[in-house]
Amino acid sequence: MSKLPLVLRELHRSETSLARDLLAVADRHQVDHEIFHVGRDIAAWSQTHVRLLSEIGHDHGLELDPAPRWTVPALSSLTRRLSTATVHRPESGLLLLADLRRVHRKAAGVSLDWELLAQSAQAMRQGELLALAQSCHPRTVRQMKWANAHLKASSPQIIAS
């Protein structure tokens, strides 16, 4: 039996988790406005991917939630308080570096999952799946590069100060 459903299920899980993470990071760093706004903008990419995966999952006998709960409420009110409490303190910087590092790692995982899907879709002549991977994967890479770029730009000040 094909393991494609397994790959799809894992991708759905990892994209959902990436979207949640991006939203949580945005929330936690509201005082770093670009992280907040762009984090939310690109979380929307993962949210779209989750919906598309759920749609295509049907054809493979899968029930994947098209719109899972995106935030973990308890965490988010806590982090929000943290975010405003550290507005005048450089310590929030270290937290930001850790968060960006996690987003980067997670996006790298999603990126590999898309690779996997693309490879297997190609092997199994699944045109639609291949097209999906080809249209979604570049955005995952852009999410990864976003985290990388911010890490690069903000680390000198955070470490030096």
Partner 1 sequence: MTERDAIAKPWGARTPFRPGEPWPDRVDIHLAGGVDPDDVQRWVRTASMLHSNGDAMDIAVVDGRIVGVRGRVEDRVNHGRLGPKDLYGWQANGSQDRLTRPLVRVDGGLVETDWDTAMDRVVTRSTQLLDERGPSSIGFYTTGQLMAEEYYTLAAIGHGAIGTNHMDGNTRLCTATAAAALKETFACDGQPGSYTDVDHADVIALFGHNMAETQTVLWMRILDRLAGPQPPRIVCVDPRDTPVAKAARDSGGVHLAPLPGTNVALMNALLHEIIANEWVDPDYLDAHTVGYAELRAQVEGCTPEWAGGICRLDPAEIRAAARVLGEAERLLSTVLQGFYQSHQASAAAVQVNNLNLVRGMLGRPGCGILQMNGQPTAQNTRECGADGDMSGFRNWANDAHVADLARHWNIDPMQIPHMAPPTHAMQMIRYCEEGSIGMLWVSGTNPAVSLPDLSRIRSIFSQDRLFLVVQDIFLSETAQLADVVLPAATWGEKTGCFTNVDRTVHLSDKAVEPPGQARPDLDIFLDYARRMDFRDRDGQPFPAWHDAESAFAAWAASTEGRPCDYTGLSHERLRAAPSGIQWPCNAEHPDGTERLYVDGRFWSAPDHCESYGRDMVTGAPLSPTEYRALNPDAKAVLKAAEYLPPHEPPGPEHPFVLITGRTIYHFHTRTKTGRAPELQAAAPRVWVECSPADAGRLGLTDGDLAEVATPRGTLHAHVRITGIRDGVLFVPFHYGYWDTPGGSAPDGGPGRAANELTATDWDPVSKQPLFKTAAASITPVEGGQR
Binding residues for partner 1, per CB under 8 A? Answer: 31-34, 37-38, 40-42, 44, 86-90, 92-93, 142-143, 145-146, 148-150, 152-153, 155-158, 160-161
Question: Measured from the CB atom, is 58 or 145 closer to partner 1?
Answer: 145
Q: CA 137: distance to chain centroid?
A: 12
Q: How far is the CB of 39 from partner 1 (least distance, A)?
A: 10
Q: How far is the CB of 86 from partner 1 (least distance, A)?
A: 8
C-alpha to C-alpha distances, 91 to 57, 58, 132, nearest whole angstrom? 43, 46, 41
Question: Measured from the CB atom, is 71 or 84 closer to partner 1?
Answer: 84
Question: Measured from the CB atom, is 61 or 156 closer to partner 1?
Answer: 156
86: which residues sit within 8 A by CB, 6+ positions away? Answer: 31, 92, 95
How many C-beta neighbours within 10 Å does residue 68 have?
16
Q: Is the distance from CB of 39 to CB of 25 less than 8 angstroms?
A: yes
Question: Measured from the CB atom, is 41 or 59 closer to partner 1?
Answer: 41
Q: How far is the CB of 145 from partner 1 (least distance, A)?
A: 4
Question: Measured from the CB atom, is 33 or 69 closer to partner 1?
Answer: 33
Q: Is the distance from CB of 39 to CB of 26 less than 8 angstroms?
A: yes
Rounded-to-integer distance, Cα 9 and Cα 104, Å: 21
Altogether, the residues listed in the chain come to a count of 161
Token pair belonging to 56 = 């295509």
Q: How far is the CB of 68 from partner 1 (least distance, A)?
A: 21
Q: How far is the CB of 133 from partner 1 (least distance, A)?
A: 17
